[in-house]
Amino acid sequence: MEKKVYSIDGKELRTINLDDKVFGLPVNEDVIYYAITNELANKRVGTACTKTRAEVHGSNAKPYKQKGTGHARRGDKKSPINVGGGTIFGPKPRDFSYSIPKKEKRLAMKSILSLQAQSDRLTVVEDFTVESGKTKDLVKILSNFAKDERTVIILKDDDGKIKQAGRNISNLHFLSYNRLRAHDLFYGRKVILLESAAKNLSEFYNNVEEEAK
């Protein structure tokens, strides 16, 4: 697949051949769904906790005697049917995380990259950084490619300067080529792929597949 490479000023520079094994696959919606659901589940904290009747503070004595009052028989004041009593089947701390096969996760990432490339949401830009680390300098560059929309930048390495410049920009997410997140990548309305990151992506996924064989 051929894509145009743009300068940080938004001018066309050259073309690049993107690996069809990464950017030209048929979109597999099922594995994309599984990958996104897995990421969201793994982010859940799972700290919700309610008290049962055994844990609620209060007396264990019966509020009144069993017979002779004309009322229904009652246990203690901590009964779930009383105000302030325990909770029946309430949430308890739990771990929501689970794992999916690595092969499935890799396929999901490649499917999302293929989807973004085929829908023209993906733009390849020459390698750049923000040496000043200032937000205004990064905003000036992004204004040539995205207009107040959810944007994802795929980096060729862990560039601290560009991340520092983008901390105060809402709806901007940074991903390294070897640590992609399905949720951010799928919901990005604009994906800016650095030129070196495109080459690194192809090498990374091809090497991983060869090692898995």
pLDDT of residue 124: 93
Residue with more model confidence, 97 or 213: 97
Say if residues 3 and 18 touch (Cβ distance below 8 Å). yes
pLDDT of residue 43: 95
CA distance 213 to 208: 9
CA distance 29 to 41: 18
If residue 12 lies in a helix (H) or strand (E), which one and from where to where?
A: strand 12-17
Q: Is the pTM of this model over 0.85?
A: no
pLDDT, tens only, 30-85:
999 999 999 999 999 999 999 999 999 988 888 889 999 999 988 898 999 888 89
Angle between helices 195-212 and 102-118 (to 10 degrees): 150
Please compute the mean of the pLDDT values over residues 96-117 and round it to a whole number.
Answer: 94
pLDDT band for 206, please (50, 70, 90 cuts): confident
pLDDT band for 176, please (50, 70, 90 cuts): very high
